[in-house]
Structure 1
Amino acid sequence: MQLVEQYIRLCAARPKEAFGRPLDITLAEVAAILCCTLRNATLTLKKMQARGWLLWQPGRGRGNRSVLTLVLDPADLLLSVAKELVQTGEIRASQELLEQYGQAWPTFAQHFSRWMNIQFGARITREKGSSGRVDTLRLFFDRPFAGLDPIHVLLRSQTHLVKHLFDTLVRFDPATKRVEPHLAFYWEADEDGTRWTFYLRKGVLFHHGCTLTADDVRFSLLRLMQQSFKHRWLARSIAAVDVRDDYVVTIRLKQRDELFLQALSKEQMAIVPRDYAEQMGEQFARLPAGTGPFRVVRHDDSMLVLEAFAPYFAGRPFLDRIELWCVPGMRQPELTEESMLVVDKAHPAYELADASWRDVVRQEQCFQYVSLNAAKKGPLADDAFRALVASMLSGAALRAALQGGREQAEVWGERMQQDTRLPDAKEAARLIAASGYRGEKLALYTYPDADHVEDAEWIREKAKEYGIVIEIRYASPEELAQPAVLQAADLVVDSANADERTELSLVEFLRAEALSITHHLDERTKAEVEQLIRQMGQTTTTEERQAVVRAIMDRLKARHLFVPLYANRIEMIAHPRLSGVSLDAYGWIDFRSVFLRE
């Protein structure tokens, strides 16, 4: 970068029309422009000439001036350097170059952005003289990926990638809603349902080359129980894990739990290699090793790169490589025939696609909500005041005002019909006064992402209409997962991780310490809900568990502890040659099934 800056200094000291024309100049003048010694000026000019940026003809003899020819316009040079950085994988450095010089040379910024837009999608490359092919899927994100340790992931994007890097003992089939064998090919339980024995597949390899054993299973489960306050709710029923031999492990439960197998299928319960995890320590999150269909080969501020794991026990994926570039401020890529894409329908390029592009549409099962803290001393601890606030935060009104793909959410099997009848101004004033509210600020916490910001600002303005003051405080996912922050918040706008494991998703919503609800339940409701969750774990039929789910939802609605706002509708189109594209409950594409047709 220093060489680029020095070239731009030289250009700034010369008339713009001088590009490509020889200019008389002394070495001393060059050194003065570059703020360096004569020797360093000579070395710098040689480096620039070697790159083809300029021509330098030093003067011979005393008093003879040298000749400098600046070959490249700074905008062209910057574009060339930025492209070179991208092509060598230095995405972060290219973005820093854009941030530093994009405003001064807008043509550089425009041309680079246009070039970047055609770098994404799915591509096939072939080596000359070879009949083989390399299938690469290249995507972009606006920030670097945080750690990928299963027991610490928070965001759905992280969880989605964990699913491609790691495996669990069993897997949940969202189509059949049944638990299927995975790392364990067979299991059995005693009559009480408190002692489960799992038989592991032999020869399953971790990415670092070691073989999976029962000791890795025990280590992984205990590691989650001891080190992850975020996800330890998953192992709440586990009393002990016993290794019987290298391929047989027994898990003893404190009590019968009909959701235990579903809990074992969650991505956070993935099995990690004990030796590698202990060796890597905190670095395990950056360069993890699992048994999954893809392995991490690079993970830094520029990009995350996954490569297919050829020995994968469940069958190698067809994609060879997935590149996730970190490009802040990047818009949707352009439609091109060379790059086979999945494009959001909201993108202008959607209009350019012909009828052969395939629709990929689904409403996320995850939903946005606002929770109200009934456990904190203050106005929201008053039932009537909380009911007033909940009624004014109408999901229907928010969806109508903000639109943008927001749809009514299905919340654990039902479309919650919120009572939006608001008291008149006189009654509202009475309820507010009776609650003890005296105009103090209520703290609303959420993330600084665009949709959360819009939601929070709408809530603030709606509350203002009733004389209720809300102060928005933005926090990172890690900050907002801290129990102390959630307990201090009066309201939290967040997203619930719901999928086809309906009952388990509700238990996560209520028990996960990284989510707000468990910290916002008043003592009475919390005791009632815990009793119902235990009851659900004892029931043996889906119908009985669904009845418990309805009972829990009735209590939450009656106590006005959260308001569902919306679910996002994901609408995309896929290139006709891009196959195996479908959306999961979180609105993500399963990379394992994607392939490119000729």
Structure 2
Amino acid sequence: MKLLDYYVSLRLHQKENDFTDTMNITVQELADVLCCTERNIKILLKRMAAEKWLTWKPGRGRGNTSTLTFHKDIRTGLLEIFHQMLQKEDVNAAINLLKENLPEDIKEELHHTLNTYFGYQEKGPETTKDVLKIPMTRELSTLDPAFVSVSSESHFARQIYDTLLQYDEKEKVFTAHLAHDYDVSADGRTMTFYLRKGVMFHNGKHMTSKDVLYTFQRLKDQNANSPCQWQTALVLDVRCIGLYTIQFSLKRKTRMFLHFMSSISMAVQPEDETELIGTGPFSVKDFRDDVLILEANTHYFKERAWLDRIEIWQIPQNTKVDLHYELPEESGNEQLGEAVNLLQVGSNYITFNLNKASIVQNWHFRNAIYHLFDIHLMIKELKKDKLLAATSLFPEKSLENPPSEKTLKQAEESLHASGYNGEILKVSFFDMKYSNEDAMWLKKRAESIGLNLKLHPFPLTDYYKEEVTANSDMILMGEMFENNIVLAFINFFKHKASFVNRFLAGQEEEHIQRIVDLLMDEEDEEKQKDYMDEIEHYLQERRLVLNSYHTYRKKNFPASLKNVSMNTFGWADFRKIWIKPAVK
């Protein structure tokens, strides 16, 4: 433990003495409080006295009472310590202090102080460095592009890695990126990519066609078991034609392969390198359980990022911090820029494990859950006004066709028709605030019609472990689509980590996969929409996926914060953000 930690423990021990500034206590009692020897206690007290945090007047004789006088009251003392923790960037210690049983007024002030730690900051002894500190209320999972599946992690991976192509969803065109050009053969079965020269990985190695080949082979490797392995199934052969040309031979003509080459799963990694090293605008400086630190890649092959450093810190879910891109306090009086609005593409949903022999195989049972999960009522009762009740993965469809009225009577009648006999059903979901609230609401409502649900929250870090949810009957989950909507839709059914992919089985799975394959080969935009409509209609009619809600976000940014445009994941492109300085 650090000296600060010992001092905090002493101050918190005062709660048993009504937080008085003077405490009478024996050395042995102090040793018990701080869990160390009497000899170490005397050393610690002398060091604290040298810091002028307290005065220690030892009692005469062994076992006699000593007097500790703190130089600042409990509020001032803890605030000072809290500031020191943040100045030393010991965010963990600061967060742990917030978890203590402190008086509410002190805890509120500590929360406010933590707020000022996040957001935009300028650092550097000689040259100014632009640093953005962002809080997150959960631990990050993998950032490996071959495995990344969660929206925020996908966004961060996009800052670290690059793909051969990029897809412009608005214009419906592919643009050159790591590949400066590409050819498609007349029969559509051979695609050749011409790589940029001089592109460097973060470790200083120059990118060549061998790295692209390695990336593809790693994705295809059965032993690696990437959830995106399905994207390699169409490839017959891959050849490096020189250092900067690579050619893919396909089993059949499909433009979708170009979409694959723009997806994060195909982001190029250096040959035989397992660390988080890419060619992207930011490199990984540090990645631990509590923090991800990204630094600007000064050798980026395109325009360098304006921000120098980005820090993403994990904080407790109940911490009162909600800042992402805020400016320093001195900029707080300026006029706000344009508001950025975002309505989640994709939706939260319930799906059923058809691989398990249970009552969920019965349509009437699934219909009972459909009527039981009244989203309009849940939004009202839980006061979740930033949600839009969903009937589709696409918010525009949900707005056109809002959910029909649902009643407990309908749910109870369907439950009775299913032959349900009181068995306990396991419902899994991410162990996060919103998911817990949704699951608890559903459980309570289910009890009112005699349905027994057992809730199984699991951490996001267990997302890729199939055994964690294999015995579940249902799951409450969410899917947030990336900007490439058609690819994201296909991924929803093909990606091995997707619970719709995991839980569908039998004829239902065969039917869905057949239409998804047709969608994958279709180039006409209107026909693509028809296929997606057909799939959603099938899932809804058979109550296989029950859409619950879309999340609505609205964010006002200071006028000085430039180039902020949120993607469908709710994040801004870090490379493009910059701060317009005040001109005096």
Which of the five TM-score ranges fits, normalised by the shorter chain? 0.7 to 0.9
Q: Per the alignment, in what secondary structure is the counterpart of residue 488 of structure 1?
A: coil
Q: Per the alignment, in what secondary structure is the counterpart of residue 118 of structure 1?
A: helix
Q: 1:407 to 1:70 in 2, by over 3 A?
A: closer
Match of 2:110 in 1: 112
Q: Does 2:343 match 1:363?
A: yes
Q: Per the alignment, in what secondary structure is the counterpart of residue 414 of structure 1?
A: helix
Match of 1:234 in 2: 231
Contact 2:114 2:321 in 1 (8 A): no
Q: 1:103 to 1:560 in 2, by over 3 A?
A: closer
Match of 1:452 in 2: 435
Q: 1:489 to 1:417 in 2, by over 3 A?
A: farther
CA shift digits 1:396-442 (9 cap, x unpaired): 444444433111445357338477466995x8766544533212122
Find 1:561's aligned residue among 523, 529, 544. 544
Contact 1:151 1:228 in 2 (8 A): no
Match of 1:344 in 2: none
CA shift digits 1:444-478 (9 cap, x unpaired): 21112122122223333443444333222112234
Match of 2:62 in 1: none
Contact 1:256 1:537 in 2 (8 A): no
Match of 1:315 in 2: 303
Structure 1, 67-76 or 436-445: larger mean CA deviation: 67-76
Contact 2:193 2:247 in 1 (8 A): yes
CA offset at residue 30 of structure 1?
5.5
CA offset at residue 562 of structure 1?
0.8
Match of 1:348 in 2: none
Match for 1:87: what amino acid? Q
CA distance in 1, matches of 2:90, 2:548: 40
CA distance in 2, matches of 1:504, 1:15: 61
Q: 1:460 to 1:45 in 2, by over 3 A?
A: closer
CA distance in 1, matches of 2:289, 2:226: 27
CA distance in 1, matches of 2:38, 2:541: 81
Structure 1, 553-562 or 372-381: larger mean CA deviation: 372-381
Match for 1:323: what amino acid? E
Match of 2:565 in 1: 582
Match of 1:299 in 2: 287
Q: Does 2:418 match 1:435?
A: yes
Q: TM-score, normalised by structure 1?
A: 0.83
Match of 1:252 in 2: 249
Match for 2:321: what amino acid? Q
Match for 1:558: what amino acid? E
CA offset at residue 54 of structure 1?
4.2
Q: 1:405 to 1:419 in 2, by over 3 A?
A: closer
Contact 2:183 2:191 in 1 (8 A): yes
Match of 1:194 in 2: 189
Contact 1:193 1:257 in 2 (8 A): yes
Match of 1:103 in 2: 101
1:99-498 matches, within 5 Å, as 99=99, 102-103=100-101, 109-125=107-123, 127=125, 132-226=127-221, 227-277=224-274, 284=275, 288-328=276-316, 329-332=318-321, 338-339=328-329, 356-402=336-382, 403-409=384-390, 411-412=393-394, 414-415=397-398, 417=401, 420=404, 425=409, 431-498=414-481
Contact 2:132 2:307 in 1 (8 A): yes
Contact 1:445 1:473 in 2 (8 A): yes
Contact 1:148 1:161 in 2 (8 A): yes
Q: 1:37 to 1:318 in 2, by over 3 A?
A: closer
Structure 1, 436-445 or 536-545: larger mean CA deviation: 536-545
Q: Per the alignment, in what secondary structure is the counterpart of residue 212 of structure 1?
A: coil
Structure 1, 159-168 or 49-58: larger mean CA deviation: 49-58
Contact 1:172 1:180 in 2 (8 A): yes
Runs of at least 5 residues in structure 1 that lack an aligned partner in the other structure: 60-65, 278-283, 342-351
CA distance in 2, matches of 1:134, 1:431: 62
Contact 1:340 1:578 in 2 (8 A): no
Match for 1:376: what amino acid? K
CA offset at residue 490 of structure 1?
2.1
Match for 2:418: what amino acid? S
Q: TM-score, normalised by structure 2?
A: 0.85
Contact 1:395 1:563 in 2 (8 A): no
CA offset at residue 394 of structure 1?
4.0
Match for 1:244: what amino acid? I
Q: 1:353 to 1:362 in 2, by over 3 A?
A: farther
Match of 1:345 in 2: none
Match for 2:319: what amino acid? M
Contact 1:392 1:420 in 2 (8 A): no
Match for 2:219: what amino acid? L
Runs of at least 5 residues in structure 2 that lack an aligned partner in the other structure: 60-65
Q: 1:340 to 1:183 in 2, by over 3 A?
A: farther
Q: Per the alignment, in what secondary structure is the counterpart of residue 571 of structure 1?
A: strand
Structure 1, 305-314 or 10-19: larger mean CA deviation: 10-19
Structure 1, 86-95 or 68-77: larger mean CA deviation: 68-77
Q: Per the alignment, in what secondary structure is the counterpart of residue 548 of structure 2?
A: strand
CA distance in 2, matches of 1:384, 1:67: 72
CA offset at residue 176 of structure 1?
1.6
Q: Per the alignment, in what secondary structure is the counterpart of residue 273 of structure 2?
A: helix
CA distance in 2, matches of 1:69, 1:429: 66
Q: 1:452 to 1:248 in 2, by over 3 A?
A: same
Contact 1:75 1:105 in 2 (8 A): no
Contact 2:336 2:557 in 1 (8 A): no
Match for 1:138: what amino acid? K
Q: 1:17 to 1:232 in 2, by over 3 A?
A: closer
CA offset at residue 84 of structure 1?
2.1
Structure 1, 460-469 or 549-558: larger mean CA deviation: 460-469
Contact 1:363 1:569 in 2 (8 A): yes
Q: 1:218 to 1:83 in 2, by over 3 A?
A: same
Structure 1, 235-244 or 508-517: larger mean CA deviation: 235-244
Find 1:545's aligned residue among 516, 521, 528. 528
CA distance in 2, matches of 1:563, 1:217: 39
CA shift digits 1:7-46 (9 cap, x unpaired): 5659969998776x9x9x9xxx768855787865664444
Match for 1:48: what amino acid? M
CA offset at residue 368 of structure 1?
0.8
Q: 1:562 to 1:577 in 2, by over 3 A?
A: same
Structure 1, 511-520 or 428-437: larger mean CA deviation: 428-437
CA distance in 2, matches of 1:178, 1:480: 33
Q: 1:392 to 1:236 in 2, by over 3 A?
A: farther
Structure 1, 486-495 or 410-419: larger mean CA deviation: 410-419
Match of 2:88 in 1: 88
CA shift digits 1:307-355 (9 cap, x unpaired): 11111112101111112222223213689973489xxxxxxxxxx9886
Q: 1:546 to 1:340 in 2, by over 3 A?
A: farther
CA offset at residue 359 of structure 1?
1.4
Q: Per the alignment, in what secondary structure is the counterpart of residue 187 of structure 2?
A: coil
1:13-92 matches, within 5 Å, as 33-34=30-31, 40=40, 43-54=43-54, 70-73=70-73, 75-92=75-92
Higher Cα radius of gyration: 1
Contact 1:177 1:500 in 2 (8 A): no
Q: 1:322 to 1:378 in 2, by over 3 A?
A: same
RMSD over equivalenced CA pairs, Å: 3.6
Match for 2:110: what amino acid? F
Q: 1:544 to 1:358 in 2, by over 3 A?
A: closer
Structure 1, 367-376 or 405-414: larger mean CA deviation: 405-414
Q: How many residues align?
A: 563
